[in-house]
Amino acid sequence: MKARILAPTRTSLRRMAAVLRRGGLVAAPTETVYGLAAHALDARACRRIFRAKRRPANDPLIVHVADLAAAENLAVWNDAARRVADKFWPGPLTIVLPKRRAVPGIVTSGGDTVALRCPAHPVMRRLLRLAGVPLAAPSANPSGYVSPTTAAHVAESLGERIEWILDGGPCPVGVESTIVDMQDPGRARILRPGAVTARQLRAVIGGKRLPQAGQSKDAQPLAPGMMARHYSPRTPLRIRAPKEIRRLLVKRPPGTALVFFRKPGRLAGGHDAVHWLTQSGRGEEAARSLYRVLRELDRKGYRRVCIERAPRSAGPLAAVINDRLRRAAGHGKA
């Protein structure tokens, strides 16, 4: 099988919606990363996602919906969760709630909760409307590898295993959605940090704190996405403090690529192993380029990559980037 990459014209969107309704798979852009979508209420279609990604059966899928009304049929909502959806949907936020019977067990890996997200990307939104069904969609990468932020990324790692890719250009956010567990609003917690921050959520949910799973003693069963070595490139990755990476620039070990957070000011020639995530120093720009840079470096076959920790001055996305770097380096939480 060799995937076909389609421009999101009206004709191709209609065609892809029909593929999805019939139980097929379509990779499609969201504002965070590309997803591999299937009819969420069709257990056989969802099984195809697990097969194509070689995803372990115990790693549940996020279900994408066109709006809150569609999400009401899939989960048992509470007032605080509705307020959160009202405020942040459509957008890069996934809400975990008790599931309703309509959701097949394969989607939730047999669990009694479901993760729901209403995406903001216009292509995914049109696809959801045209398909008229909720769409289960994990990131469109082989399980454990770096998430894709372009159609070409999807094609290079899943192109032999799926038939259709909708090309919506590079994803504007670039890192996966925030996941918040809202089953019990009094004990809400963040399972995965993302562009919607704890502070923004707390302003809507109320309460003093919003713990992040894995960072407090009490928080245990984690989303499998919280496991160590997730989102990992093949090339071993080391995280370095700003001072350390500058030192490495002076005396770069052979076979080592350096990734600065921000483009260094003075760079003499001959630094083709020196990379950076942003020119401006803004977290948004760095988040958009993070997975592209990790994938590019994997292709170049370095022995190792040393990457600079994102500075707090880059804003709230710095913490999200550092979370993904720790996972990519295989440190899990830490």
Where do contacts with ligand TXA occur on this chain (CB under 6 A)?
Answer: 30, 32-33, 35, 59-62, 94, 96, 108, 111, 113-115, 117, 137-139, 176-177, 179, 191, 223-225
Q: How far is the CB of 258 from ligand TXA (least distance, A)?
A: 28
CB 59 to Mg ion: min, Å: 8
Q: Which residue's structure tokens are 């963040």?
A: 190
Residue closer to ligand TXA (CB basis): 179 or 277: 179
What is the C-alpha to C-alpha distance for residues 179 and 94, in angstroms, rounded to an integer? 5
The residue (of 260 and 291) whose beta carbon lies closer to ligand TXA is: 291
Query: Cα separation of 258 and 260, whole Å?
Result: 6
Which positions ≥6 away from 170 have C-beta within 8 Å?
149, 150, 288, 292
Q: Which is nearer to Mg ion, 176 or 181 (CB)?
A: 176
CB of 192 to ligand TXA, least distance (A): 6
Q: Which is nearer to ligand TXA, 177 or 235 (CB)?
A: 177
Tell the smallest beta-carbon distance from residue 227 to ligand TXA (Å). Answer: 8
DSSP characters over 204-242: HH-SS--PBTTSSSS--SPPGGGSSS-S--SS-EEEE-H
- Asked if residue 37 lies in contact with residue 136, where contact means CB atoms within 8 angstroms, the answer is yes
Closer by beta carbon to ligand TXA, 96 or else 306: 96
Encoded tokens for 128? 């959801």
Nearest-approach distance from CB 42 to ligand TXA, in angstroms: 17
62 binds, among Mg ion, ligand TXA, none (CB under 5 to 8 A by kind): ligand TXA
* Residue 177 is a binding residue for Mg ion (CB under 5 A): no
Stretch that binds Mg ion, among 106-114, 132-140, 200-208, 273-281 (CB under 5 A): 132-140
- Per the CB < 8 A criterion, the answer to whether 49 and 36 are in contact is yes
Q: In angstroms, give the least distance from the CB of 216 to ligand TXA.
A: 17
Q: State in angstroms the smallest separation of the CB of 106 from Mg ion.
A: 17
The residues in 138-157 that bind Mg ion, with binding defined as CB under 5 A, are 139
Residue 137 or 239: the one with the smaller Cβ distance to ligand TXA is 137
111 or 332: whose CB is closer to ligand TXA? 111
Task: Residue 171: name its binding partner from ligand TXA, Mg ion, none (Cβ under 5 to 8 Å by kind).
Answer: none
282 vs 148: CA distance, rounded Å = 21
Q: Which stretch binds Mg ion (CB under 5 A): 137-145, 157-165, 209-217, 288-296?
A: 137-145
β-strands 256-262, 304-308: how paired? parallel
Crossing angle of helices 283-300 and 317-328, in 10° steps, is 20
- 156 vs 244, beta carbon nearer ligand TXA: 156
Nearest alpha carbon to residue 105 among 47, 159, 64: 47
Judge residue 43's burial from the number of C-beta atoms within 10 Å of its C-beta, 0-12 exposed, 13-18 middle, 19 or more buried: middle
Phi-psi region of 256 (alpha: psi -120 to 50; beta: other; left: phi over 0): beta
d(CA 241, CA 269): 24
Please tell me whether residue 94 binds Mg ion under the rule CB under 5 A.
no
Q: Min. distance of Cβ 114 from ligand TXA in angstroms?
A: 5
Residues that bind Mg ion (CB under 5 A): 139
